[in-house]
Structure 1
């Protein structure tokens, strides 16, 4: 594997049993597969502890293979949502209350000045009020992908509409591969830790495997389409996940 940012690795390791302290949990997913890569182990541990987990998918996922003719946009959207539902089942998560915002992949709005942002934030706030989680999992605020940052911004707008604050844990996906110095946590900004997910690592790997369209071979008529790299997959085969929590709300 390539070198990893020390700021994401040199963190205390918490036991699997600590996951139960998060209580009922909701997760915001920028694209199908982010849930399995970033926090599939935590989701499995929460369900193992008998805690409810609810999920919201932010984008339509269609830009992974934009030139495919065999899988036009609607078919890509349906395929990726089906893969997400299979992955959630692998992790023990009920997909019956899955919220799909269907924002444009690669161009999710990231501020109230952009069309669709306020409506999506309101839908998200309403969903959170229905689900009543104690903890919200969301992408790291400066994860180097525009849709991940947009998801974080949408989350903050939705949370501002709620009567009570939620505990927020930020998970890492693209920062492992693409982080510039400014993308990494700043001093006194967040508390970080790693979670031992060894006991459920096989479940996490099965959930990642459910996203066949991102592993290559399934959508075979777009040579320039996205594919999870061996290096990235090797990182997410490690028996820990990394989380950050703001020091000041």
Structure 2
């Protein structure tokens, strides 16, 4: 982990949970199936336990985690990952009819200025106008993965006319792949990184992560060179704190 990020995490402060008492609807933006459980699974479970509606958008199809699979096509991989996401969110208390799959191309989600960007913004804006969320959870603006950055850009463009919405950014690949240039912007955040204590939700979050079997075991898609969540990565999400960068309304 980047030493500057480690320092910021060590000096993080607890989130004032009274902020959540004003929330009636939350929208979660996840670039890939598993980001929802890894980055904000504890908060999702907490919100649902409090009766707060949670809608989730997956921006990509997740098909490129195992591109050389011999036993499953890209369509089959997409379907399996969607089913894993549905099961994981079920553990967290989110019903299937609150889940939307945009099915953008994994590892090629269009960023601002690229072809197709406006179309994804329009899709997301339609859901935002329908759901009218008070709180939006989105990947960190400078997360090292391009799909995560593009998801942030799409979300911000869709929220352009919604200044009243609170935006909480969650961390994924910053923990293990973050460079100094990715971390540096966090030093200018007024309240820095803040954390939500997991308490009883820690176990539920871990159970939700376990539903993403294709990302935990290379045998699922039969691609020895495919992606897998190593234990050193998972440990960043199994702890008793979930970290956020909070942009209040």
Which residue does 1:165 correspond to in 2? 164
Q: Separation in 2 of the partners of 1:235 and 1:165?
A: 31
Structure ranking higher in helix proportion: 2
Q: Which moved more, 1:17-26 or 1:150-159?
A: 17-26
Matched length: 246
Matched residue of 2:188: which SS? coil
TM-score (ref. length: structure 2): 0.92
Deviations 1:116-167 (A, max 9, x none): 110110010001111111000000100111000000000011112x455311
Q: Which moved more, 1:190-199 or 1:202-211?
A: 190-199
Q: Which moved more, 1:77-86 or 1:190-199?
A: 190-199
The unaligned stretches of length 5 or more in structure 1 are none
Instruction: State whether residues 2 and 175 of structure 2, in contact with CA within 8 Å, keep that contact through their aligned partners in structure 1.
Output: no
Q: Separation in 2 of the partners of 1:66 and 1:20?
A: 43
Q: Which moved more, 1:139-148 or 1:18-27?
A: 18-27
Pair 1:118-2:115 in alignment: no
Which residue does 1:127 correspond to in 2? 127
Matched residue of 2:196: which SS? strand
TM-score (ref. length: structure 1): 0.92
Deviations 1:221-240 (A, max 9, x none): 21110000111112211011
Matched residue of 1:157: which SS? helix
Instruction: State whether residues 61 and 77 of structure 1, in contact with CA within 8 Å, keep that contact through their aligned partners in structure 2.
Output: yes
Q: 1:67 to 1:125 in 2, by over 3 A?
A: same
Equivalence map 1:72-91=2 (5 Å): 72-91=73-92
Which residue does 1:174 correspond to in 2? 173
Q: Separation in 2 of the partners of 1:49 and 1:197?
A: 15
1:169 shift after superposition: 0.4
Q: 1:62 to 1:131 in 2, by over 3 A?
A: same
Say what the alpha-carbon RMSD is for the aligned residues: 2.0
Q: 1:240 to 1:16 in 2, by over 3 A?
A: farther
Instruction: State whether residues 218 and 227 of structure 2, in contact with CA within 8 Å, keep that contact through their aligned partners in structure 1.
Output: no
1:19 shift after superposition: 4.1
Which residue does 2:182 correspond to in 1? 183
Pair 1:13-2:17 in alignment: no
